[in-house]
Amino acid sequence: IIWNSSTRAELLKFVDQQRAAQGPDGSYDIKDSHDFVYEALSKELFIGNVYLRVYNDQPDFEISEPEAFCVALVDFISWLLHNQCVEEANHNVEETTSFTETPEHLNEVVDGSVNEHQILNNSSIMS
């Protein structure tokens, strides 16, 4: 758990807003409670009910569900790798498309004046 003056202030502000929004009978919209997120924690990496920065700072802390944490961590790493591969593939397709479809490139090929730099870039794209 990460608890500090920022999280405390955010929670107090949220509770005050909920009190102000209560109906005359004391009712309130529970959905707002489910949507509440601490801005102070928005940049913290939270995987398998563990804040990784805090865990790295306190590696001796016992994780309550180590199996679930490990599965969530492997899933997260797999997701990162998949996204990285997709981004690289999209980037390579964009480079290849822009390289092969530009009128300048077509003119240079017709003129036989493709320079060595373009050839090297094209060969690295293909590999």
Cβ-based neighbour number of residue 74 at 10 Å: 12
70-96 pLDDT tens trace: 999 999 999 999 999 888 888 777 776
Q: Per the structure block, which two tokens stand in for 10?
A: 């955010």
As a 3-state breakdown, the chain gives helix, strand, coil percent values, each rounded to 5, of: 70, 5, 30
Reported pTM = 0.55
Q: What local confidence, expressed as pLDDT, does residue 99 receive?
A: 55
Q: What local confidence, expressed as pLDDT, does residue 87 receive?
A: 86
**Residue that is written with structure tokens 């502000």 in the block:** 13
Whose CA is closest to 50, among 114, 103, 2? 2
In the predicted structure, residue 108 carries a pLDDT above the cut 50: no
Among 40-49, 100-109, 113-122, the least confident range: 113-122
Better pLDDT: 58 or 100: 58
Q: Per the structure block, which two tokens stand in for 92?
A: 């390579």
C-alpha distances (whole Å) from 117 to each of 10, 15, 63, 88, 89 are 55, 62, 53, 21, 21
Q: What local confidence, expressed as pLDDT, does residue 101 receive?
A: 52
11-50 pLDDT tens trace: 999 999 988 888 888 887 788 888 888 998 989 999 999 9
Distance (Å, rounded) from C-alpha 107 to C-alpha 114?
9
Burial of 50 (0-12, 13-18, 19+ CB in 10 A): buried
The beta strands (E) that lie in 5-107 are given as: 46-47, 50-51
Q: Per the structure block, which two tokens stand in for 103?
A: 């009128």
